[in-house]
Homo-oligomer: A and B are copies of this chain.
Amino acid sequence: MSDLPKVPMTRADYPHFLIVPTRWMDNDIYGHVNNVVYYSYFDTVINEYLLRSGGLDIHNPEAVIGVCAESGCRFKAAFTFPEPVEAGLRVAHLGRRSVRYEIGLFKRGRKEAAAEGHFVHVFVPRGDMTSAVAVPDAIRTALEAIQVAG
Are A78 and B36 in contact (CB-based, < 8 A)? no
Q: Which residues from B are CB-within-8-Å of A39?
A: 35-36, 39
With A59-B31, A65-B30 as contacts: A24 and B3 at CB distance below 8 Å? no
The interface size bin for chain A is: 35 or more
A67 is contacted by which of B30, B40, B68, B74 (Cβ under 8 Å)?
Answer: B30
> What does the 1/0 interface line of A61-75 toward B look like (CB < 8 Å)?
100010111111111
Q: Which residues from B are CB-within-8-Å of A29?
A: 27-31, 58-59
Are A47 and B4 in contact (CB-based, < 8 A)? no
Distance (Å) between the CB of A139 and the closest chain B CB? 16
Stoichiometry, copies per complex: 4
Closest-by-CB residue of B relative to A73 is: B71
A44 is contacted by which of B23, B67, B70 (Cβ under 8 Å)?
Answer: B23
Alpha-carbon separation in the docked complex, A97 to B72 (Å): 21
Are B24 and A48 in contact (CB-based, < 8 A)? yes
Alpha-carbon separation in the docked complex, A23 to B61 (Å): 21
Are B21 and A20 in contact (CB-based, < 8 A)? yes
A129 close to chain B: CB less than 8 A: yes
With A21-B21, A28-B28 as contacts: A70 and B36 at CB distance below 8 Å? no
Closest-by-CB residue of B relative to A47 is: B24
A25 close to chain B: CB less than 8 A: yes
A71 is contacted by which of B41, B46, B72 (Cβ under 8 Å)?
Answer: B72
